[in-house]
Amino acid sequence: MYTPPFTISPRTIHLIADISALVERYAIRMEQEDALLLRKINRIKTIQGSLAIEGNTLSESQITDILDGKHIVAPIREIQEVRNAIKTYNSYHTFDPYSVDDLLIAHKIMTEALVDNTGHFRQGGVGVFAGTQLIHMAPPADRVPYLIKDLFEWLRKSDDHLLIKSCVFHYEFEFIHPFSDGNGRIGRLWQSLILGKLHPVFEHLPVENMVFANQQAYYNAINRSTDAVNSGIFIDFMLQEIYETLKKRQGDSIVTMKATKDVGINVGINVGINEQKVLELLRKNNQITAKEIAGLLGISLRHSERLITSLKQKGMIQRVGSNKNGYWEIIV
């Protein structure tokens, strides 16, 4: 049986112990009265985080609107990506993480109307680029079915801890890059499915959201593991992300979040990653301009203005004084 190359460090062992303790506490949290709403919140965060890693700009509030059947103004492709992700995560319980056939079904749902060969392995070569620089050339297309078969066989038969197996699978899947598009989304989903075999709470843990917040470190961990021909570095990175996510979510409270008539649920749960970044910039400099925000975040001026408008509508910021000489006041 093929065994992917990885090593288990002392840090890995400590993280497994810490995560195991936090999982039980998080499970208790998910049994409280507001658990149903919290699951919806975390599902939205999961979808927003996973898609944002791939460049989707829709905020949590916009995803909430789509989930609730409302119309939004946004690029058609990005709306389709969200709709597909919602359908895919709604099918979470129908997927067997040990089934290659289910992997293909999930890809078909996730990439519907987005790629030509949805639900099928790629037929050509593919590389991963950082700008114009090639950072990873995936294995030849004719090897993909065999590599995936070997990976799933290891996943089914290995006696390693599920936390480790989920991380190794995630890394190996991204290395193989079996699809022409959607590899990141499916890889992160599949890690969640594997973790779900360890404990059901992982279905509602938005690890993707925190990975997006540490996106460069995520890619660095993948690249360093590739250079070392050993996924141990990536294992430690992902376990740390899982630990931090569990630790952060222990005290989630919905009742402390401010509700407004403009936002269907609560302001606190509808603040996207980019909106959070805008708030941080405003806290550091309350006279910063939309153009300066766009430059610092690497987004368009229009997108920057849309984020500011969204925060204003949610009652989280307000403009004091004129556009030229005034400043931003953070309300919540």
> Does a structural domain hold residue 265?
no
> Does a structural domain hold residue 145?
yes
Percentage of the chain exceeding pLDDT 90 = 56
> Does a structural domain hold residue 62?
yes
Same domain, 164 and 22: yes
* 251 pLDDT tier (thresholds 50, 70, 90): low
49-65 confidence digits (pLDDT tens) = 999 988 899 998 899 99
> Does a structural domain hold residue 5?
no
pLDDT of residue 152: 98
Considering its fold, how many domains does the chain have in total?
A: 2
Round to whole Å and give the CA distance between 253 and 38: 9
pLDDT of residue 260: 32
Q: Which of 183, 214, 249 is the last residue of a domain?
A: 249
* 23 pLDDT tier (thresholds 50, 70, 90): very high
Q: Where are the beta strands (DSSP E) in the chain?
A: 127-130, 133-137, 317-320, 327-330
* 40 pLDDT tier (thresholds 50, 70, 90): confident
296-318 confidence digits (pLDDT tens) = 888 888 888 888 988 887 778 88
Q: Which residues are annotated as a binding site for ATP?
A: 181-188
Same domain, 239 and 296: no
What's the chain's average pLDDT?
Answer: 88
> Does a structural domain hold residue 3?
no
Is residue 266 scored above 60 in pLDDT?
Answer: no
Same domain, 308 and 232: no
pLDDT of residue 258: 35
Could you list the active site residues?
177
269 or 302: which leads in pLDDT = 302
Kindly state the average pLDDT of the residues 16-39. Answer: 84
Between the alpha carbon of residue 161 and those of residues 83, 137, 145, 167, 187, the distances in Å are: 33, 30, 25, 10, 18
Same domain, 300 and 201: no
DSSP letter (8 states) at residue 94: G
Same domain, 170 and 122: yes
Nearest-5° angle of CA 193, CA 195, CA 200? 85
Is residue 269 scored above 50 in pLDDT?
Answer: no
102-138 confidence digits (pLDDT tens) = 999 999 999 999 999 999 999 999 987 766 777 789 9
* Domain, as residue range, for 308: 271-330
For residues 322 and 307, the answer to whether their CB atoms sit within 8 Å is no
> Does a structural domain hold residue 2?
no
Total residue count of the chain as it appears in this document: 332
pLDDT of residue 27: 86
Same domain, 182 and 71: yes
- pTM score, whole prediction: 0.77
pLDDT of residue 13: 96
> Does a structural domain hold residue 116?
yes
Same domain, 186 and 296: no
Same domain, 233 and 278: no
Same domain, 151 and 294: no
Q: Which of 216, 249, 282 is the last residue of a domain?
A: 249
Alpha-carbon 30 to chain mean position = 20
Residue 323: give its domain's CATH number. Answer: 1.10.10.10
Same domain, 186 and 92: yes
pLDDT of residue 270: 52
> Does a structural domain hold residue 118?
yes
Q: Which residues are annotated as a binding site?
A: 181-188
